[in-house]
Amino acid sequence: MSPPPSPPLFAGVSRRLRQMRVMTAKELRQIARDRALLLFIIYSFTLHMFVAAGSEASDLRDARFLVRDLDRSPASRELISRFLPPQYLPAGEVASGEEALDRLDRGKAVMLLEIPEGFSRTLDEGAQPATVQLLVDTSSANTGYLASAYSARIAARYGAERAQANLSRGGAAHETLPRIESRDRVWFNPTLDEKWFATISELLTMITVACILLPAAALVREKERGTIEQLLVSPLTPFQVMFPKVLAMIVVTLLGTVVAFLGILRPVFGVPVRGSLLLFFGVTALYAFTNAGLGLLAATFTKRTAQVGMLMLLAVMPIIMLSGIRAPLESMPSWLRTAIWFSPLRHFLEVGYGILLRGAGVSVLWDSILVMAGLGAVLFLAGLYRFRRQLA
Amino acid sequence: MNLRRVLAVAWKEAREIWRDRLYFGLAFALPVILMIVYCYGLVQDVENAPFAILDHDRSTLSRDYAHRFLDSRYFDFQGYVEDSREAERLLVDARVRMVLVVPPGFERDLREGRPVAVQTIFDGTFTTPIRTLRGYVESIHASLGASLRADWLARNRGLSPERAAVLLQPVRVETRYLYNREVRTLWAIAPTMIMFILMMTSPLLTALSIVREKETGAIYNIYSATITRAEYLLGKLLPNAAVSFLNILVLFVLATSWFGAPFDGSFGLFAGASVGFVLSTSCLGLLVSLLARSQQAALMISVIAGVVVALNFSGMTTPPQAMPPGLYAVAHLFPALAYRNVVLGTFLKGLDLRILWQDAAYFFAYAAAAFALCTGLFRKRTAA
């Protein structure tokens, strides 16, 4: 009692689909069997989020500063007392400039605040500005910039208060002065919680690394071990060999993303979802496809896993570092910005942050999604073309 | 330890590296390309931040105010917006990083000596540049406010403008920048990148060279040979460490000549510490090769571990003094932190052995300990 024969075309399609399902299961099993690899994937999507959240600090924190107070007046002490935690941490007084330099050399402090003799007198006379000197370690440019900017602000505020006192003493107590006040409002992340940005960007980074490296390595390993010949004599088309590798990766990535997001980012770090979560996971799948295409294309250029490693570093690291996570795009030279347009991560960032934090929908993000889909299709087809030619 | 056997393995390894031309080329080209891409791309100076203005006042003074931002290289003007709905659309679509809202009566209030509040709406998604941008906005407000106040006092009290300025801001800060006088991010980034790039490539080279033999089965020859574990591992380690050391020299030339980073310290100290560093990172590669069974796994582990360590535990993103104590302790388990000290110390700070000896000694102690650990863990038989 066999089922009635289906039309040949349909039979072909369903057989192909079944073959692809088997191949996808094979790829998944291969990933699951490599214990070190599996552990690393699990780490990337779980524990690593905590590492990322703990280490990201772009604001000035605990900047140790030395003091050399040559004035020793109430005014100088008042100014020094305004350098407070969490930005600043006093690292003690120094007696001489050499001592200060030595401590700065050893990295025990990042700043020296020097108040010259006569500071208080000059301030009282009011004929000339009273000067304080700042020596800032700028070997880490960002810390150096922030340390000096905050210091300037503290000194300015102190000066403004003295000025106000002087003016009202001069009989102008109720006189107001023109002033421009800065009222800031930060949208999408009102408390400037750095963990939101840090954990999301780290998740996107991990997705990128896994999606490019794993399919590439999987394909090259088949070449290296010669199992590709077995696949060739099987009734599978090149598409059926390649696409399951992509599918397997999409499954692993989506699983990891769902776990990382629903299990860690949202409950632990309070990362909000202002847009549609379903759309986010959908776009993540599309992104996994785009990246896997890139990985497979690169794999067709190499013969050994070691070479894939090098080629991947060449493509993956710039993608991660330059797509807008580490440094804002607009501050890069324009030739570089043009090159980065071809990085799928650049568009995924816009979509990811757009959906999660800015609450944007398809009506705003359609252009980025379209570019990602286009890049993915081109990369995958190019890889398929090269793979097919290599087999012939 | 038989030196001849070590050299035999090392010689075979060197020939293998040399023979695979693509791999050999990549081992040298990769660090250079990464260096160029990062140094151009990672400059974190916030510049050309796109912004828009919502001007409710449309007066001469509000246009003057706008020009202070238009003329600044830190900002990139995207145009005026008509209403708050349009401002919101630009922010949601990430077309601008901030919108300045000039209130009605801006000119009138300021001319009559009253304070006004200008609201700045920031896109808080990307937190890092916001603080810097906020500082820029505040300083433009402060300087425009100061000149308006000086005018006001000069007009209403008959003071000279200089006298009015001192009266208004009696404290002046003179800042001198140490080590990196021009506060050029590139000068700090170029040397740091030597550490960053080598943290990735150096363990990878060693790890792959051992795991490849595991995969092809060539390692069975070693298992059955009289060569000891330490001899084999050392023979594997030396040529790969040498490649990494050559890479450092190339990157050094690139950093100083192409990117113009100043090198004030002793080259001997830099080179000596670098030898210790590449031995340490190569030992990390040995450690990875013990964990990984496939080249695929070795690749994943060394790339991700390298990036994680270099980014989080080196002091590059978080300065060591700002690290939480736990993180600070963990950071000492990797050579990245000490090498960043050495690199910045010799490049920018011009330090000598008097201050850097601890870091330099650390590498050799680290390499010895890690090598002993790997030798202890390496088994000359197949996993059951």
Q: What is the C-alpha to C-alpha distance for residues A199 and A271, in angstroms, rounded to an integer?
A: 9
Answer whether B124 sits within 8 Å of A37, measured CB to CB: no
Q: How far is A184 from chain B (nearest CA, A)?
A: 5
Q: In chain B, whose CA is at the least distance from the CA of A36?
A: B292
Report the residue from B115, B348, B355 with minimal CB separation from A179: B115
| 0.80 exceeded by pTM | no
Distances (CA, A) of A152 to A89, A128, A134, A135, A157: 16, 18, 9, 12, 9
Task: Specify the amino acid at residue B314.
Answer: S
Under DSSP, the state recorded for B125 is S
Residue A378's pLDDT band (boundaries 50, 70, 90)? Answer: very high
pLDDT at residue B208, as a whole number? 86
pLDDT at site A326: 73
pLDDT tens over chain B, length 384 residues: 788 999 998 999 899 888 887 778 878 888 898 888 888 777 767 788 999 999 999 999 999 999 999 998 889 999 999 999 999 989 988 889 999 999 999 999 998 888 899 999 999 888 878 878 888 898 899 889 888 888 888 887 777 777 777 877 788 888 888 887 777 778 888 898 899 989 988 998 899 888 888 888 888 888 888 888 889 999 999 999 999 999 999 999 999 998 888 898 889 999 999 999 999 999 999 999 888 888 778 877 887 888 888 877 887 777 777 677 888 888 888 888 889 889 988 988 888 888 888 888 999 999 999 999 988 888 877 664
Q: Where are the alpha helices (DSSP H) in B58-126?
A: 60-70, 84-92, 106-111
**Distance, CA of A360 to CA of A353 (rounded, Å):** 9
CA angle A38, A40, A43 (to 5 degrees): 115
Of B124, B184, B185, nearest to A188 by CB-CB distance is: B124
C-alpha span between A30 and A305 (Å, rounded): 16
Distance CA B20, CA B283 (A): 23
Nearest to A58 among B45, B131, B351 (CB): B131
- Cβ contacts (< 8 Å) between B177 and chain A: which residues? 136, 138, 144, 148
pLDDT given for residue A320 in this prediction: 83
Confidence bin at A8 (pLDDT 50/70/90)? low
**Is A130's CB within 8 Å of B171's CB?**
yes
pLDDT attached to residue A171: 56
What ipTM does the predicted assembly reach?
0.76
Q: Residue A173: is its pLDDT beyond 60?
A: no
**pLDDT tens, position by position, A325-356:** 877 788 777 888 898 899 999 999 989 999 99
Distance, in Å, from the CA atom of B99 to the CA atom of B55, rounded to the nearest integer, reads 10
Max mean pLDDT among A194-198, A206-210, A387-391, B234-238 falls in B234-238
CB within 8 Å: A152 and B295? no
Most confident of A23-37, A135-149, A176-190, A273-287: A273-287
Chain A touched by B352 (CB under 8 Å)? no
Contact across the interface for A34 and B201, Cβ inside 8 Å: no
Please indicate if any CB of chain A lies within 8 Å of the CB of B184.
yes
Contact A176 B114 (CB under 8 A): yes
Residues in chain B closer than 8 A to A160 (CB atoms) = 168-169
Q: Which two tokens stand for residue B28?
A: 């040298």
More confident residue, A197 or A59: A197
Q: What per-residue confidence (pLDDT) applies to B240? A: 92
Q: Which helix (H) or strand (E) holds A63?
A: strand A63-69
Between A and B, how many CB-CB pairs are < 8 A?
395
B119, burial (CB in 10 Å: exposed 0-12, middle 13-18, buried 19+): middle
pLDDT digits (tens, 9 = 90+) for B134-163: 888 988 998 898 888 888 888 877 777 777
Distances in Å between the Cα of A311 and the Cα atoms of A204, A239, A260, B30, B381 are: 20, 23, 28, 8, 32
pLDDT of residue B105: 92
pLDDT tens track for A264-316: 888 888 888 888 999 999 999 999 999 988 888 888 888 777 677 767 677 88
Closest B-chain CA to A38: B297
Residue B44: per-residue pLDDT: 65
B-chain residues near A197 (CB < 8 A) = 125-128
In this structure, what DSSP letter does residue A62 have? S
Confidence class for position A1, pLDDT limits 50, 70, 90 = very low
Share above pLDDT 90 across residues of chain A, in percent, rounded to a whole number: 21
Please give, one letter per residue, the 3-state secondary structure of B261-326: CCCCCCHHHHHHHHHHHHHHHHHHHHHHHHHCCCHHHHHHHHHHHHHHHHHHCCCCCCCHHHCCHH
Model pLDDT, residue A55: 56
Contact of B61 with B102, CB cutoff 8 Å? no
B321 touches chain A (CB under 8 A): yes
Would the CB atoms of A221 and B174 count as touching at under 8 Å?
no
Tokens in use for B140? 């433009």
Residue A2 pLDDT > 80, yes or no? no
Query: Are the C-beta atoms of B273 and B55 separated by less than 8 Å?
Result: no
CA of B251 vs chain A CAs: smallest distance (Å): 16
Site from B140, B175, B176 to mutate, A interface, most A CB atoms within 10 angstroms: B175
- Structure tokens belonging to residue A185: 């409002």
A304 with A376: CB under 8 angstroms?
no
Report the alpha-carbon distance of residue A156 to residue A149 in Å, rounded.
11
**DSSP one-letter code for A264:** I
pLDDT at residue A300, as a whole number? 86
CA distances to A106, B198, B316 from B180, rounded to whole Å, are 16, 23, 16
Residue B171 CA to residue B167 CA, distance in Å, equals 10
Vertex B118 angle, CA B117 and B120, to 5°: 135
What's the rounded Cα separation, in Å, for the pair A143 and B304?
Answer: 26
